[in-house]
Structures are given as structure tokens and as C-alpha cells.
């Protein structure tokens, strides 16, 4: 892989101890960026990932704990990143959670939590890093939205509202800072086989008494014409491109990686 940036650049990736965020953190480190990882998990496993990625790539990799449902923790993690690794050049807002229920049964606490982590956190993190990016005249913000930032599905009211909000906020940030060589884009994946998706598959198997193959085949037939899950490496590769100088003219975009979902 060609090196995208020198070791003076710093990238912060929220929710990067597993799934999409982990793949993005790995790709950025391999490209030459110093990387701040963040997320939940067993402390020993997180430290092993951090140390192995640092040793493998030769860049600095730090772990900064924060629950992205709490603005003060977000700001603190970003301050710690700046103090330990340097000013943040690349922000990837990836942290997210899901709650599922019909609108009339959706709890208010679940609504508040999903909006806080999936939407408000994007605002708080972006607000925190933008002044430094503007001062230095370069920056990249990549928001991991969802195909559900473009279209709706049943039983996901808070998630869909949040992801539509992320797409709108992405556009708004982009036009405000375009003249300062800062870009802000959203990636909108369809179904990616992450830990969260594995749980949804298991729940569906139990609920409908189906095999894993039957559940996956039905999901693909409903929504995803390519007939397979999106791989985390595909999201990481697009993120890497959006963070490069070659993508300097792309901003305010919501880019689907959806296997044909929104083409139907």
C-alpha cells in the first residue's frame, strides 16, 4: 500500500477497537499516519491491538478511552490525543449503536442514547478539531453514516433519524470550511459483517427458527443485490482515499457503499 501521509499527521478514529473502525485505523496506520484508537472492549485485547499495530507499521498508536454518548468524554479524548500524538489532521466519526423497535414502542431513553452517540457525537468531535484544522489550513473529516442515512427501514427510528442527520451535518460542515482545504464527507455502507451484524443474524435465527444461511440469503434478497456483505476493507479503502490529497475536490458528499441497495 502506498503511503498516504508522513508521520507528522495524526488521525483519530472513534469506535475503532472492532469492526469498521478497527479496519480504518489499521489502514490509516499502514498509510503512515499516527493513529488514536478509541472504543470499548477488554483492556488486554485493546492493548494487544494497539501495540501490534504500532510495531507492525512503525507509527505511533495511542488508545484514548471515551464513551461517545458523553460530550465531556469526547472532548477529553481529543485533548489527550493532541497532547500525546499532536494536532488532529484526520477525524473519522465511526462510533455508533443500534436499538430496534417500532416507533410507538421505541423507548425515550433508547432514542436519546442513539441520537447522542450516532449524531451529536459527530457534532461535538468535529467542533473540537475544526479550529486547529482551520488554523493549519488542512484537514479531513470522514463520517461513517449508513445506507440508512439515505433511505429508511422499519423499526429503526432513532438510527435512521441520526444517520440522516449525519449526512446533513456533513454537507453543512463541508461548505463552511471548503476554502481552508478541509473536506468533510460521509460514507454510507449497507450491511457489513461486523459484530453488530452477527448479533442481528443470531437474533433473527432464534426469532424465526432459521439457519444462518437462510437468514443471510433472505437479507441479501431483500436489499443487497450483490448477494454478499460489504467487507470492512472496502470501507477502509474509501476512507483512506477521502483522506488523501487526491480527494481534495470531494467534499459534502454522501458516498454509498451499498451493493446496489439504493439503486433499486
97 vs 113: CA distance, rounded Å: 8
> Above 90 in pLDDT, residue 211?
yes
Q: What is the mean pLDDT of residues 208-219?
A: 92
pLDDT at 141: 98
159 in Cβ contact with 98 (< 8 Å): yes
Q: What is the bridge-based pairing of β-strands 34-37 and 182-189?
A: unpaired
177 vs 139: CA distance, rounded Å: 9
83 vs 172: CA distance, rounded Å: 29
| Active-site residue identified among 64, 159, 229, 261 | 159
Q: What is the residue whose three cell numbers read 469506535?
A: 15
pTM, two decimals, is 0.95
Residue 63 bears catalytic tag:
no
Q: What is the mean pLDDT of residues 196-213?
A: 89
Q: How confident is the model at residue 8 (pLDDT cuts 50, 70, 90)?
A: confident
Q: What is the mean pLDDT of residues 193-215?
A: 89
Our CA dihedral for 188, 194, 195, 197, rounded to 10 degrees, sits at: 70
pLDDT at 4: 62
| Per-chain mean pLDDT for the chain | 95
pLDDT at 210: 93
Amino acid at each position: 500500500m502506498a503511503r498516504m501521509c508522513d508521520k507528522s499527521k495524526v488521525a483519530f478514529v472513534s469506535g475503532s477497537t472492532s469492526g469498521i473502525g478497527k479496519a480504518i485505523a489499521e489502514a490509516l496506520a499502514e498509510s503512515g499516519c499516527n493513529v488514536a484508537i478509541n472504543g470499548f472492549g477488554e483492556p488486554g485485547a485493546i492493548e494487544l491491538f494497539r501495540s501490534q499495530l504500532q510495531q507492525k507499521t512503525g507509527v505511533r498508536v495511542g488508545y484514548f478511552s471515551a464513551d461517545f454518548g458523553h460530550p465531556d468524554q469526547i472532548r477529553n479524548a481529543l485533548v489527550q490525543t493532541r497532547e500525546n500524538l499532536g494536532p488532529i489532521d484526520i477525524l473519522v466519526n465511526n462510533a455508533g449503536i443500534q436499538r430496534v423497535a417500532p416507533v410507538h414502542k421505541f423507548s425515550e431513553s433508547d432514542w436519546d442514547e442513539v441520537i447522542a452517540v450516532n449524531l451529536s457525537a459527530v457534532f461535538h468531535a468535529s467542533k473540537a478539531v475544526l479550529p486547529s484544522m482551520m488554523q493549519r489550513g488542512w484537514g479531513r473529516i470522514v463520517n461513517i453514516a449508513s445506507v440508512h442515512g439515505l433511505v429508511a427501514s422499519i423499526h429503526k427510528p432513532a438510527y435512521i433519524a441520526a444517520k440522516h442527520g449525519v449526512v446533513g451535518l456533513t454537507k453543512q460542515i463541508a461548505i463552511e470550511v471548503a476554502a481552508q482545504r478541509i473536506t468533510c464527507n460521509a460514507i454510507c455502507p449497507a450491511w457489513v459483517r461486523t459484530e453488530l451484524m452477527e448479533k442481528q443474524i443470531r437474533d433473527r435465527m432464534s426469532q424465526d427458527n432459521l439457519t444462518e444461511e437462510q437468514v443471510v440469503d433472505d437479507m441479501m434478497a431483500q436489499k443487497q443485490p450483490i448477494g454478499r456483505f460489504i467487507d470492512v476493507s472496502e470501507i477502509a479503502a474509501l476512507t483512506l482515499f477521502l483522506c488523501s490529497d487526491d480527494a481534495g475536490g470531494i467534499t459534502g458528499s454522501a458516498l454509498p457503499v451499498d451493493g446496489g441497495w439504493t439503486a433499486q
